[in-house]
Homo-oligomer: A and B are copies of this chain.
Amino acid sequence: MHTRLSGERDRPPRTKGRADALDRLDGMPTLDLSLSAADITRAICDIPSVSDDERMLADAIEAAIRPLPHLEVHRDGDTIVARTALGRAQRVVIAGHIDTVPLNGNLPTRDIEIDGEPFIWGRGTVDMKAGTAVQLKLAAELSDPVVDITWIWYDHEEVEASRSGLTRLAATRPDLFEGDFAILGEPSNGQVEGGCNGTLRAVVRTHGRRSHSARAWMGVNAIHAAAPVLARLAAYEPQEIVVDGLAYREGLNAVRVSGGVAGNVIPDLCEVEVNFRFAPSRSGAEAADHVREVFDGFEVEVTDLAQGARPGLDSPIAQDFVRAVGAVPQPKYGWTDVARFSALGVPAVNYGPGDPSLAHHDEERVAVAQIESCERSLRAWLTAG
């Protein structure tokens, strides 16, 4: 369903701060973190940073953060870590990625209204530069928070996990991940989303024997042999599994099918790539067993596997955070880097502005009110005595 965007074609006047938020000095954009989080969102969205091309944005962030006396800054590739070292009893890690999926004519950002409500439209607004903007603003502002904070802004989240800035950092500087609680600013509609589903990819293969299609009886058609594979997928009934009080909805889907040699050849191979999104109560091995069981009798090769994360909402600091932001925890369906913190023993949640169902969408857009509300709640919790 496509939500009609009223005023989509108009360009309302920019807020005053915008031009200042993104100035260019000797070709390098500079960020003014004293502006509103909405203006910072516009500014960092308008520096395109599709995965592999985050350098310019990382440079701008480093230039804005490095001079702040209350932060120790560490840069690794295009990942920037900024830490307070106030000797607080607890440390919170707050992280956000700075890359986006590819553009599709949806930059520069535009200010639009939907049902009278202001939105910022454009690639990255939801996933997840609005969340990163809130973090950047608070990182600059909060020189005296009640907990120590490790801010992490990282590259290559939207591509293979092996290329992620967090993967690199976890290998070289695991100490920077230490903390009592972690918050990822991934879009969650301003709700606290606990844990996440795991994700598994597998290729289900059928084999045949080639022949000329004029003499099909001399061959064996591998595409026809895949009929039961698709039939099992179509008949599959995904489960909803309650983990630590949150209901995780699973899904098993074909995401690719391919087969065929030429228009006059009986094909000898057909591949169906499936994606299984599984509740965090299943281990990766259990998820793989389940997929093998569904496709019993067929060749199944697991090609990618990332375990989920349990909600992690039972620790006192997590409960305190949930109370402070006044949210009812929800399950996270998409896999996010909370699973990475979870695996390192740090309870983690997703909390950020933006409707996750608009992530990667060509009409990606974030409500300005959600940015402001996330900023207020996070500030209140980080400064409350």
Contact = CB atoms under 8 A, between A and B. Distances in A.
Interface string A168-208: 00000000000000000000000000000101010000000
Given A223-B272, A272-B223, A357-B218, A263 B255 contact: yes
Contacts of A231: 227, 230-231
Give this chain's copy count.
2
B334 A254 contact: no
A243 B213 CA distance: 20
A215 to B, nearest CB: 5
A273 interface: yes
A224 B233 contact: yes
A261 B258 CA distance: 12
Given A230-B224, A233-B227, A357-B218, A266 B253 contact: yes
A253 B214 CA distance: 10
A104 B378 CA distance: 65
Interface residues of A, number: 52
A213 B263 contact: no
Contact of A213 (B217, B227, B249, B277): B277
A274 to B, nearest CB: 9
Q: Is the interface of A mostly helix, strand, loop or mixed?
A: mixed
Of listed A224, A234, A238, A260, residue having the most chain B CB within 10 A: A224
A328 interface: no
Given A230-B224, A230-B227, A255-B265, A215 B275 contact: no
A369 interface: no
Given A277-B214, A334-B212, A254 B224 contact: yes
A136 to B, nearest CB: 26
A146 interface: no
Contacts of A267: 254-256
B260 A259 contact: no
Contacts of A262: 255
